[in-house]
Amino acid sequence: MKRIIISGGGTGGHIFPAVAIADELKRQFPEVEILFVGAEGKMEMEKVPQAGYKIIGLPIAGLQRKLTLKNLALPFKIVKSIVRARKIVKEFQPQVVIGVGGYASGPTLKAASMLGIPTLVQEQNSFAGKTNMLLAKKATTLCVAYEGMEKFFPKEKIVMTGNPVRLEVTQIEGKRSEAFAFYGLDASRPTLLVIGGSLGARTLNESLIAGIEQLQQAGIQVLWQCGKLYYEELISRLKGKDLTGIHLTQFIARMDLAYALADVIVSRAGAISVSELCLIQKPAILVPSPNVAEDHQTHNAMALVNKQAAVLVKDADARTTLINEVIQLMNNKEVQTTLAANIAQLGKPGATKAIVSEITKIG
C-alpha cells in the first residue's frame, strides 16, 4: 500500500469518515502517502489540512435546486473538474481511489475508473446519494453501513462494514468527571447534550430558546452546540436571560467529553452522528433535517426508531414538542435503559478497520 487518493466532502458527515479512514491507513501502513481531493470553497479545504493531510480542490459544484444562472456554468465545471482530476490521478499514481460522497468524489472516481485504477465507494447513509449511485456501476467495492442497500447498488459489490468514526470521539469510558470539569457543569444534575451537526441547526436552536426556562425548572442542564452560523444571533437573543446550567458553544472540539457527560442526547440524524451514537450507547432523540438530498436523515433515523433504539421528533414539530420529549425521557430511566441497550446492538466498532481491509484487497 503506497499511495491512496480519498475524495469527497462538503459536510462534516463526509469529511470526518474520510479522515478516519486516512488515520487507520496511516496506523496500519505508516509509509502510505495519502492525497485528498475536495471541492474548492468547501469545508474539507480547511478541515483536511487541520487533520494533517494534503488536499487539492476541484472547481466542482452541485446543481442548485432553484433556477439560477449558476446552473448554466455547471456542465463546464464538471468537464473542467474531470480534466483536472484525471491530471491529479495520473501524476499521483494511486493504487486505490476512495470516494466518500460529496461533489468532488464524482470527477475523481470517474477519472480513476477511466485510467483503470480500482475504486472503493463508502456510502454512509441508509438512502444512497446520487453521486455514489452513479459511481457504483464502475466501482470495485461498495462499503455500506445499513442493510438493504442492494436497492441502490449492485449486490455482488456490497460489503457491510458500518461507518468509519474517529476513535477519539467514541472513547468515553472513565471521562465523566473530566467532562463536567471541562464544560463547567454540575456532575450531580441530569444533563442534556444538543448537537446540530457541524454547521448547527436552526430548528434545534429555536426549540432550545423556546424551552430554556422549562428545562431549568425541570432541573436539567444543557451543553448546547449551536453552530458558528447561529452563535452571534443566539448570544444577542439570549441577552438578559438567566443561563444558569446552560453552556452554549458554536463548535465542540472535545466530542468525547460531550458524549461522556450526557444523560440524553438531541441530535440531527446525519449518518456519522448516528454511527457515533450507536457506539457511545446513550439514549437519543433524533430530529432529522428536512433540508438534505433524498431526505436521507429521516431514513437514517427510522433505521433506529424501527428497532426501538431512538426517539423521533419531526423537524416541523420540534419547536412545540421537543422539550416535552426531553423532559419525559429524562424522567423515565426505564425507557433510557431500553434505548441505550437497543442502540448498542447497532454499533459497529470495527468499521474503519473493515474498510481498510477492503482497500488492501483491491490495491
DSSP-derived pairing of the beta strands 54-58 and 33-39: parallel
H/E stretch holding 266 reads strand 264-267
Question: Does the annotation list 198 as a binding residue?
Answer: yes
Residue 12 annotated as binding? yes
Annotated ligand binding at 125? The verdict is yes
- 11 annotated among ligand-binding-site residues: yes
Q: Say how far apart CA 26 and CA 210 lie, in whole Å.
A: 46
Task: Please name which of 306, 308, 300 lies closest in space to residue 340, comparing C-alpha atoms.
Answer: 308
Q: Is residue 126 within 8 Å of 296, Cβ to Cβ?
A: yes
Q: Which residue from 295, 245, 141, 264 is spatially nearest to 193, judged by alpha carbons?
A: 264
DSSP 63: P
Which stretches within 188-266 are classed as H helix?
A: 202-217, 231-237, 255-261
- Rg of the Cα atoms in the chain: 21
SS3 state at 290: coil
Q: Is 297 known as a binding-site position?
A: yes
d(CA 147, CA 134): 20
Interatomic CA distance for residues 245 and 222, integer angstroms: 6
- Are residues 229 and 205 in contact, defined by beta-carbon separation less than 8 angstroms? no
Task: Check the annotation: does 13 bind a ligand.
Answer: yes
Distance of CA 185 to the CA centre of its chain: 26
- Residue numbers in the known binding site for UDP-N-acetyl-alpha-D-glucosamine are 11-13, 125, 166, 198, 252, 297
Numbered residues of the known binding site: 11-13, 125, 166, 198, 252, 297
